[in-house]
């Protein structure tokens, strides 16, 4: 198991008027539930599958996507022999896109069984994944949890940056037969799933996320900023230096027009970002609106784009990190009160 690195996780809060304040972060050593995480495609190892030795990219993504959850749960991040970045390019060139089975899935399933046998002790757990990690965990839920006694211990599953099929117009059916989508912050045993695209750059015809071939199905979209529906404000935790989960992307730390520099690893930008679930003719997705104001001193945009078919995939988790941590905190209390 990888552990979040013991490095600083403080945040600079940058308000619209340009003022800055510092927000500190603390882990909860006695957190009452667990979080089990499968990271996205980040391995820079050569070949189709990575080895079991975490490299810098794998450690970085744990810091970006999982570490903050340690304020509400004990965190577990198993290394697994994922399809590497090079392997993903090779598979896509050959038309193979399924990331939910194979060596990566076998490793994560084995690690999950080990966790259940040696560490869980009947505690509630949250599954957290992004991209390849979400596809692997989708299979794990379907094969190991859905409709089985273990479902009672699943507080929730956060399956970000992946297409999770659900019966059109319903909250269940599709990938899972008994595990529903989350529709309120106090609901437990449910799934949060979305892929983020800008309001100004919706999914194109060749989108990689949010599209399901079966017309009776749709891609799940649950808005972590407004689970009951509609639009809500995102509590993002973005990289202070401007980096994303992919090494070498981003850069620069100018979050205001002044000379004030951000020196913390993370930045929060209250009021800048909102989200809602919506659809176009190609996909169902989480639409991100950036409320930049050229008249104020705060930055008017964010980083995180790849090519149009990928949308804001690089920051799927960062965009709603505060919302998701708050959700897990509330779900944890609900799950424990129901025991």
In a domain, 14, yes or no: no
Question: What value, to the nearest 5°, has the Cα angle with vertex 163 and ends 71 and 227?
Answer: 50
Number of domains in the chain: 1
Q: CB burial class (10 A; 0-12, 13-18, 19+) of residue 103?
A: middle
The whole-number mean pLDDT for each consecutive block of 10 residues of the chain, a chain of 339 residues, reads: 60 95 94 97 90 90 94 96 86 67 91 97 97 96 97 98 96 97 97 98 96 96 97 96 66 75 92 98 98 95 92 97 98 95
Contact 34, 122 (CB under 8 A): no
In whole angstroms, what is the distance from residue 302 CA to residue 319 CA? 10
Range of the domain at 292: 23-337
In a domain, 92, yes or no: yes
In whole angstroms, what is the distance from residue 290 CA to residue 299 CA? 10
Q: Tell me what pLDDT residue 102 has.
A: 81
In whole angstroms, what is the distance from residue 54 CA to residue 126 CA? 22
In a domain, 224, yes or no: yes
Q: Tell me what pLDDT residue 75 has.
A: 97
Contact 260, 233 (CB under 8 A): no
Q: Tell me what pLDDT residue 95 has.
A: 62
In a domain, 13, yes or no: no
Q: Tell me what pLDDT residue 6 has.
A: 47
In a domain, 71, yes or no: yes
pTM (2 d.p.): 0.94
Q: Tell me what pLDDT residue 88 has.
A: 84
């Amino acid at each position: 198991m990888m552990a979040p690195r013991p490095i600083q996780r403080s945040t600079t809060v940058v308000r619209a008027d340009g003022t800055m304040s510092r927000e500190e972060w603390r882990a909860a050593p006695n957190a009452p539930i667990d979080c089990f995480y499968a990271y996205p495609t980040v391995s820079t190892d050569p070949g189709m599958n990575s080895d079991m030795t975490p490299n810098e990219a794998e450690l970085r993504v744990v810091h970006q996507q999982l570490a903050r959850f340690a304020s509400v749960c004990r965190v577990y991040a198993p290394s697994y022999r994922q399809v590497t970045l090079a392997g993903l390019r090779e598979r896509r060139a050959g038309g193979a896109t399924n990331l939910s089975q194979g060596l990566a899935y076998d490793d994560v399933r084995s690690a999950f069984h080990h966790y259940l046998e040696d560490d869980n002790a009947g505690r509630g757990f949250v599954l957290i994944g992004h991209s390849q990690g979400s596809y692997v965990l989708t299979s794990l839920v379907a094969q190991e949890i859905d409709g089985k006694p273990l479902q009672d211990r699943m507080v929730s599953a956060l399956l970000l940056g992946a297409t999770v099929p659900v019966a059109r117009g319903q909250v269940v059916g599709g990938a899972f037969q008994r595990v529903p989508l989350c529709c309120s912050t106090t609901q437990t045993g449910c799934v949060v799933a979305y892929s983020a695209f800008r309001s100004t750059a919706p999914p194109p015809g060749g989108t990689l996320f949010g599209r399901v071939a079966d017309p009776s199905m749709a891609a799940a979209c649950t808005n972590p900023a407004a689970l009951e529906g509609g639009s809500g404000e995102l509590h993002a935790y973005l990289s202070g230096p401007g980096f994303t989960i992919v090494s070498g992307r981003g850069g620069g730390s100018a979050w205001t027009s002044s000379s004030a520099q951000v020196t913390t690893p993370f930045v929060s930008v209250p009021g800048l970002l909102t989200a809602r679930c919506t659809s176009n003719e190609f996909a169902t997705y989480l639409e991100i609106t950036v409320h930049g104001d050229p008249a104020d001193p705060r930055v008017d945009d964010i980083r995180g784009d790849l090519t149009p078919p990928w949308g804001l995939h690089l920051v799927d988790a960062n965009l709603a990190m505060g919302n998701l941590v708050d959700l897990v905190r509330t779900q944890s209390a609900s799950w424990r009160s129901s025991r």
